[in-house]
Amino acid sequence: MKRPMLTIVVPCYNEEDVLPESARQLTAVLQSLIEEQLIAPESKILFVDDGSQDRTWILINKLMDQNRYVTGIKLARNFGHQKALIAGLETAKEKSDCVISIDADLQDDVGAIRDFVLKYLEGYDIVYGVRNKRETDTAFKRLTAQGFYRLMKWMGVDLVYNHADFRLMSKRALEELSRYKEVNLFLRGVVAQLGFRTAVVYYDRKERFAGTSKYPLKKMLAFAFDGITSFSVVPIRMITLIGFLSFMISSLAGVYIMISKLTGHADSGWTSMMISIWFIGGLLLMSVGLIGEYIGKIYQETKRRPRYSIETDLYSGRAGKSVQATKLAERR
């Protein structure tokens, strides 16, 4: 059998501290896989620079000169982890038989990559890396992550528990994935929906060995909210439900009020008035806001804007528009 060409996609945002070490470890993994004749010798590590403000892109270029496995693409600005990943996957898909995505900080065990490839060779199209334990994460991260999985499950979004974006996908799985044209692509949810033969590989999650997390609470919340609203209409149904419940309660209250009135027990109900006005008002505002959120999504989708723009592509040998423009200008 022809050995598969593997590309490891690594999104990087301000990762100058970790990049050289990541490249070193990933190269070692690739080399040993090539020596074992498990993958093709032209396999690659594709760094996706997600509009970093530090020396990340310079480092990627430097690594490329020294290391024949390293290659990179540079996005035109910071698009966020998910978009950077998608950009990498779609770029890598063209040349590769299978693609593995892993974070630049190597919190995910590079040792699991070999197991991924073995599963792929057995005929699996999607291999999920799943964390055994989360001891190395901060208590806060663990709590928020757990809350996230619970909430998603409750909202009816099918996710692989404790699986982040460390996974292998075959070419045909990636081709299916790129048929999902939505701008707000929630990768973990969509991949879980693709189908195909899937396998799971367990590993221990480590600590970030350098640099700081690029996922502050704000980005985490945005991520969770995006996941929910692009996959589930449960929040909108909840509004209907709450509306129905409050209608039922108010009818009961109406009966009670009528009886009190008729039996002459009605007093000037200032408190209950105030409370209900505020309660209903709040409920309405919240509901309208939530529905607006979905309408916003529809608005974004109908515009069909590109998910990301690549400024420079050193992997496929294609340069983005801006680079081509400067080259043309130089020639003139």
Distance CA 256, CA 279 (A): 19
176 binds, among ligand UDP, Mg ion, none (CB under 5 to 8 A by kind): none
If 0-12 CB within 10 Å is exposed, 13-18 middle and 19+ buried, where does residue 206 land? middle
Neighbours of 266 (CB within 10 A): 12
The edge-to-edge listing of strands for the beta sheet with 98-101 is 198-203, 126-131, 167-170, 98-101, 6-12, 44-49, 70-75, 310-313
- Minimum Å distance from CB 102 to Mg ion? 10
**Bridging pattern class, strands 44-49 and 70-75:** parallel
* Residue 105 is a binding residue for Mg ion (CB under 5 A): yes
Q: Which does 193 bind (CB under 5 to 8 A by kind): Mg ion, ligand UDP, none?
A: none
Closest CB to Mg ion among 204 and 293?
204
Beta carbons within 8 Å of 299's beta carbon, 6+ residues apart: none
Q: Which one of 56-64, 102-110, 165-173, 282-290 is the stretch in contact with Mg ion (CB under 5 A)?
A: 102-110
Which range in 98-106, 194-202, 244-252, 321-329 contacts Mg ion by CB under 5 A?
Answer: 98-106
CB of 47 to Mg ion, least distance (A): 15
Shortest CB 181 distance to ligand UDP, Å: 22
22 binds Mg ion (CB under 5 A): no
198 backbone dihedrals φ, ψ, rounded to 5°: -120, 150
Residue number, 107 or 230, with CB nearest to Mg ion: 107
**Cβ at position 236, least distance to ligand UDP in Å:** 29
Binding-residue total with Mg ion (CB under 5 A):
3
User: What residues line the site for ligand UDP (CB under 6 A)?
Assistant: 11-13, 15, 50, 78, 80-81, 84, 103-105, 107, 213-215
Q: Which is nearer to ligand UDP, 25 or 276 (CB)?
A: 25
DSSP secondary structure code for residue 46 in this structure: E
For ligand UDP, which is the closer residue by CB, 107 or 171?
A: 107
Of 60, 36, 202, give the one whose Cα is nearest residue 121: 36
Residue whose CB is less far from Mg ion, 149 or 215: 215
- Count Cα atoms within 13 angstroms, Cβ side, for 92: 36
